[in-house]
Structures are given as C-alpha cells and as structure tokens.
Amino acid sequence: MAKKKFTVEYSLGHTAPSRLWNHLQSDTGLEGWFADRVELDEKDYTFYWGEAEQHASLISMRRDVYVRYRWWDDEPHAFFEMRIIKSELTDETTLIITDFASDPDDQDELIDLWDQQIENLKRILGVN
C-alpha cells in the first residue's frame, strides 16, 4: 500500500526565516528539537533518539525556504519536508511540514510526534 502525503502547519510568530533555517538543516540545529543527536556526512544524516537511529539523505533545499529529506528505508516517492512561509502582511512565520503515512492511524501518530517536536523547537526559539 502506497503511503499518503499529509501536511501540518505551525505558527512560529515573528521568527526570522534566517534564524529558523539553521534549526532545519544543520546537525547542530536539528539536535535538541528533532533528535537527541545528529551526525552529518555531506548530505547524509544519522538521527539518534536514545538507542534508536535512523538515516536520511538531504534530497532538496532552498536556503531560508525549505529542506527535504528522504529516509533511507522509505518508499522512493516519500519524503519529509520543512517549509518556511513568511507572511508579508502579518510578518509572521509559518512552518509547514509535509510527511507521508502508511495509514490513518500512522498519520495521527506522526502528527502527534511533529506536534511534540515543534513544541521543542518553539522553546529553543523562544516562541510562545
């Protein structure tokens, strides 16, 4: 069964995209909110959560706009993306997450996981 794409949006207040960018694509920026520890080898990332580890490759990015990764063991068309949208009208920043789920229950669990991770990111950024 093919995975189904979904998106979730998170308001990050008046966070500057340039400030947020490091937290989305660098090993040190991803540590502490996305994973416990991150190792980077060119475009290949190893994410650690306690004793568990997972590998992903950076497949596409545009500075201060988006970053897209693919898990090594995932389907070829599946990815996860973090996209920064800055409203010219309100000057607020939104982070849009695109991910893929195997079924509706899996999607709910993934959204809960993203919710937790984004709460950690907001704490790091000082966003209420």
Picking from 1, 13, 3, 2, the residue whose alpha carbon sits closest to that of residue 80 is 3
Q: What pLDDT, on a 0 to 100 scale, did the predictor assign at position 32?
A: 86
Q: What pLDDT, on a 0 to 100 scale, did the predictor assign at position 1?
A: 66
- Name the pTM for this structure: 0.93
Backbone phi and psi for residue 76, each to the nearest 5 degrees, phi listed first: -60, -35
pLDDT tens-place string over residues 35-58: 999 999 999 999 999 999 999 999
CA–CA dist 102, 24 (Å, integer): 24
CA–CA dist 91, 33 (Å, integer): 24
**CB neighbour list of residue 109: distance below 8 Å, 6 or more residues apart:** none
Going along the chain from its start, the domains and CATH numbers come out as 4-125 (3.30.530.20)
pLDDT tens-place string over residues 62-115: 999 999 999 998 888 899 999 999 999 999 999 999 999 998 889 999 999 999
